[in-house]
Amino acid sequence: MAFELSVNLEYGFHEAGERLEDRIAAAAAAGFSKVETFTMAGRDVASVRAALDSNGVTLWSMVNDPRTRIVDPQTHDEFRANVRQSAENAVALGCKRVVIASGPAVPYMKRAVQLQIVADAVASVVPIAEQHDLTLILEAVNTRVDHPGVLFAMTEDSAKVAKLVKSPRVRLLYDLYHSIVEGEDPEAVLPGVIHLVDHVQIADAPGRGEPGSGAIDWPARLAMFERLGYTGTIGVECSPTRQPTGEALAYIKGLCAKG
């Protein structure tokens, strides 16, 4: 089957400038109708929404503040306030997904205890997701290169929290790049959690460049997603090795269009 792509604007379309509004326009001009971003901190939500609407682009996902160490119960009020603000921004922007990161782990605390504390925090914001008709997607990221010290280092970590929360509002973001860099075998990891996956992100490895710039076998990986029954959008969260971004992404766009 063919896959529709969304493009992360924090990494891509830098050639359009620093303003998110201009990157949205550049993505649309390159033929992408879905984009992703991080937080709205320091950005004009109304202006970004106007750029999305005028270019016919949907904001597919955005990120809650990832820096909070939610293994510490004393941060949970701050976490809830952050999620509430992210939810309000998401609604204003027509976005249906908010990415939740675990923040840093605590080296001296058993992992199962930390995951339970995080699950308690996530469960406490499910009513916010329900109120705003949002899905909270938990993301595991690699500790070997990009995010040393985070709690959600393995897919099993984020999956465990989703299972503990037991809400249809809490799903997984499976990032193939992070999974591979952390040393996971996607063919071994993904089948057991695919029923929890709401969104997939990709980049090549090594290097986190655009698909085709590294060593990942992309036809095989796309076939894997199809074989496992994934039918959603695939987010490209990569640092293009060349510009313009649209040309750098032509290879994966062509593969996804073929089905």
The tens digit of pLDDT for each residue in 163-201 reads 999 999 999 999 999 999 999 999 999 999 999 999 999
pLDDT at 234 over 90: yes
> What's the pLDDT score for residue 98?
98
Q: State the Cα–Cα distance between residues 252 and 212, nearest whole angstrom.
A: 7
pLDDT at 1 over 90: no
Q: State the Cα–Cα distance between residues 111 and 226, nearest whole angstrom.
A: 33
Closest CA to 145 of 68, 206, 104, 213: 206
Domain assignments of the chain as residue spans, ordered by start = 5-258
Q: State the Cα–Cα distance between residues 123 and 235, nearest whole angstrom.
A: 26
pLDDT at 31 over 70: yes
Average pLDDT, the chain: 97
pLDDT at 6 over 80: yes
Residues 6+ positions from 30 with CB-CB distance below 8 Å:
13, 244, 245, 246, 249
Percentage of the chain lying above the pLDDT 70 cut: 99
The tens digit of pLDDT for each residue in 99-110 reads 999 999 998 899
The tens digit of pLDDT for each residue in 103-155 reads 999 988 999 999 999 999 999 999 999 999 999 999 999 999 999 999 999 99
> What's the pLDDT score for residue 66?
84
pLDDT at 258 over 90: no
pLDDT at 70 over 80: yes
> What's the pLDDT score for residue 67?
84
The CB-side HSE value for 69 (13 A sphere, CA atoms) comes to: 9
Residues 6+ positions from 68 with CB-CB distance below 8 Å:
75, 78, 79, 82, 103
Q: State the Cα–Cα distance between residues 30 and 27, nearest whole angstrom.
A: 5
Q: Which 3 state secondary structure label does DSSP give 240?
A: coil
Q: Which CATH superfamily is domain 5-258 in?
A: Divalent-metal-dependent TIM barrel enzymes (3.20.20.150)
**Backbone dihedral region of 78: left (phi > 0), alpha (psi from -120 to 50 degrees) or beta?**
alpha
Look at 1 and 216; give whichever has higher pLDDT: 216
> What's the pLDDT score for residue 68?
85
> What's the pLDDT score for residue 259?
62
Q: Which 3 state secondary structure label does DSSP give 6?
A: strand
